[in-house]
A and B are shown apart, each in its own frame.
Chain A
Amino acid sequence: MDLLEYQGKELFARHGIPVPDGRHADSVPAAVEAAEAVGYPCVVKAQVRIGKRGKAGGIKIANDRAEATRHAEAILRLEIRGFKVHEVWVERASKIDAEYYASIVLDRSEKKPLAMLSRMGGMDVEEVAEQDPAALVRRHIEPGEEFTADAARQIAIDARIDEDVTEQVAGLLVQLHGVAQAEDATLIEVNPLIVTSDRKVIALDSKVTIDNNALFRHEDLAQLRDLSAEDPQERLAKARGVTYVKLGGDIGILGNGAGLCMATLDVVAQAGGSPANFLDAGGGSKAEAIVDALEVITSDDKVTTILFNIFGGITRCDEIAKGIIEAFRRMNIGVPLVVRLDGTNSEEGLGLLSHADLADLHVEKTMLGAAKRVVEIANG
């Protein structure tokens, strides 16, 4: 789960990490009020779960009320690479001497947390990593060992952080690691970490990702979950508890198992089709689950045909067939449905479907055959 910038900063503040003074706003009047409260110059910052906001015009400095109003109006109308801006964070502007980069990230291949620090902070730190790798100091934190002030100080020295702020930066690194551990954050990135003109080190930005599996032990963070999806299908899917991602094509897809579903998308695309969505039905064979899935898929106007790709392992194909028959009874699907049933009890399942003689239902045994069939129907 990704936190918005201001949510991450609130988390930092709770753990004693210095952040600029700021206020949240979700309307132009509220944003202006926030700017007045925070004082000028201030920065109006779009709050979205994607980076490179500055380049998209999502971060603007306001020197007075008129500018604050203008910027709030513009930013609250923005859509940044698919993310609509619903809220802003209005922050006191800082006088910046230097911009650093600091992060704690869980390195899944080394299976250790990784601390990173660079004196070259700002927007293009990936380029720094590529062009001047020595400028980006990386150090794994050994599991079971404390991440000490000494270790952090050494990182700061190696990163050639200004001497007068080395202690602050080292201390902040230790604090960031503490936040990661305490809050189950798999990523904490501060870019830029600034040194102000009066030589204070402050987190000017915050990107925090919380491990979804750990939300059960962070009720406060779990409440920050963004349940409102932008897309109507994804909103419906969340409401129905269906694992769904929209892709924009015209062939609706359902598979049982994430890997099998992804493979289905690939095979349909190879056959010349355009998948409308990813939908992992898991072990769902009950009519309820199938009705929910069909409801979500067919609510997408672009969908002209649907493919169910089922390989029954523990799940039995005859149970799935019964679920499909029941779903046809309960709803009008409205588009052709290709069903591929294989695996446990597949003959029974195929027999049930054949016997039910459902309108516009096409049955296939193999995955490749089903992909070919659904593409023929979609393109035909």
Chain B
Amino acid sequence: MAIIVDTDTRLVVSGLTGREGSFHGLRNRDYGTEVVAGVTPGKGGQDVEGIPVYETIAEAVEQRGANTSMIFVPARFAAAAIEEAIEAGVRTAIVITEGIPVYDMLGVYWKAKDAGVRLVGPNCPGVLSPGKANVGIIPAQFFDPGGIGVVSKSGTLTYQIGNELKQAGVGNSTIVGIGGDPIIGSDFIDVLNLFEEDDETEMIVMVGEIGGDAEERAADFIAEQVSKPVVAYIAGFTAPPGKQMGHAGAIISGSSGTAEAKREALEARDVRVGRSPTETAQLAAEAIAARA
């Protein structure tokens, strides 16, 4: 089955004519993703290696049946591009762009939620379902198809873990890069929920890092709603504690935001936390072998 991106993904790339957009859009296409259109205002009517470019996402949806949008446009225009995607009626928007103002994302988040659009990112590497589709910048060569779902805040760290899983002979249903920004479209809980419902996913690897309390809330969710085994890795035990300015941050967050707090919360809910990326991959490989 896989989640979020699949063989029925029909992708429209906002920024396909740009350097990054074309490089990764074409890579996605070469992987086997149905890249049906690009959008760049002012360049409608052009094409990128045969992929038609339109003025608006709405046209791409109308003319090419696009159902998934990948956003590569610069930060100052990205929120508007995401809103355009939502209004155009896509079911999924995956935002690679880094540096989007947080208040812009706030507005976009609720707009997507109200419209029932799956939003992933921003500042994320995208979503890969091995053997089916790749939307974003995840290097697909490190991942084989298989039963392990991966949800991660990180980029290269995730690729390393994927590579070690592959070397251990196990593969992935879907890898979801949720990104590390404060306001993101899909949180750990959202993706864990999707993995729990997905037939192809047998177990889940969660990769978190310091900051916020998403991992702690995910731990509670896992205990209450996730029946499949979960293994985690948390980066940042050696990072210096954040310099706290006001008191407000400490008050509203249920957690100190440290790696230690996250590990404790997860272990308290029977989620094994690997001490290194390598150990985490090993634990996952063992867990899935045990289910075989």
Residues of A within 8 A of B (CB): 2, 49-51, 101, 103, 105-109, 111-114, 116, 125-126, 129, 136, 138, 143-144, 181, 184, 186-187, 189, 191, 207, 209, 211, 213-214, 216-217, 245, 247, 255-260, 262-263, 265-270, 275, 278, 311, 313-314, 342-344, 366-368
Contact = CB atoms under 8 A, between A and B. Distances in A.
Contacts of A112: 106
25 contacts: A108-B183, A109-B212, A126-B247, A126-B250, A189-B248, A213-B99, A216-B75, A245-B240, A257-B155, A259-B155, A259-B157, A259-B180, A260-B155, A262-B238, A263-B233, A263-B277, A265-B239, A266-B236, A266-B237, A269-B237, A311-B160, A311-B163, A313-B142, A343-B160, A367-B276
A257 B142 CA distance: 17
Contacts of B76: 216-217
Contacts of A368: 276, 278
Interface of B: 75-76, 99-103, 106-107, 109-110, 137-139, 141-142, 152-160, 163, 180, 182-183, 207, 209-210, 212-214, 217, 233, 235-240, 243-253, 259, 275-278
A353 B75 CA distance: 38
A111 B102 contact: no
A257 B250 contact: no
A342 B157 CA distance: 12
Contact of A270 (B110, B138, B183, B276): B276
B139 A211 contact: no
Given A111-B110, A265-B239, A343 B245 contact: no
A314 B24 CA distance: 10
A314 B110 CA distance: 33
A343 B236 CA distance: 22
A275 B238 CA distance: 8
B106 A111 contact: yes
Contacts of B252: 105, 107, 114, 116, 138
B130 to A, nearest CB: 15
Contacts of A209: 245-246
A144 B157 contact: no
Contact of B156 (A113, A184, A257): A257
B235 A51 contact: no
A50 B243 contact: yes
A256 B156 CA distance: 7
A189 B239 contact: no
Given A126-B251, A213-B102, 20 more contacts: A103-B248, A105-B248, A105-B249, A105-B252, A106-B182, A108-B183, A109-B214, A109-B253, A111-B183, A217-B76, A217-B101, A257-B157, A260-B235, A263-B235, A265-B237, A270-B275, A311-B157, A313-B138, A314-B139, A367-B277
Given A103-B246, A211-B103, A262-B210, A116 B159 contact: no
B247 A191 contact: yes
Given A184-B103, A189-B247, A258 B154 contact: yes
A283 to B, nearest CB: 9
Given A207-B245, A257-B154, A313-B155, A269 B214 contact: no
A49 B235 contact: no
A187 B163 CA distance: 40
